[in-house]
Amino acid sequence: MSQFTVWHNPSCSKSRAARDELGADATLRLYKEDPPTEAEIVDVLAKLGAEPWDITRFSEKAAAEIGIGDWKRDAGTRDAWIAALADNPILIQRPIVMRGDRAVVAREPGWRDRLK
């Protein structure tokens, strides 16, 4: 059984780099083809210590199409954000790497150290 789960997008260089660094220790989830449920997004947000707007890719075409950049970022809209990410997984920042009760968006150097 692998130590890490990676929400992976093979067309993303950062995601490929995380996959390559983890090697056989990683289970890859192609999250665009196998989107996370709202419950899974809530779980990963707790592991990240983040809010849904913190892991949203605002530069994606889908973000403009639904106008998510203009949404309020508060407790009252949190569920709508989570639903939007579940319905539009392309909006989820990548790669997200999980190990046990921790997760990181693996885009910065030293990300693996934050999972120890």
- Return the CATH number at 82: 3.40.30.10
Helix axes 78-87, 38-48, angle to 10 degrees: 120
Q: How many domains does the chain have?
A: 1
Domain of 10? 4-115
Q: Is pTM beyond 0.75 here? A: yes
- Can you give the pLDDT of all 116 residues of the chain as single tens digits? 569 999 999 999 999 999 999 988 899 999 999 999 999 999 999 999 999 999 999 999 999 999 999 999 999 999 999 999 999 999 999 999 999 999 999 998 889 888 88
- Expressed in angstroms, the distance from the first to the final Cα of the chain is 17
Respond yes or no: is residue 67 known to be catalytic. no
Catalytic residue among 2, 6, 12, 53: 12
- Residue type (1 letter), 105: V
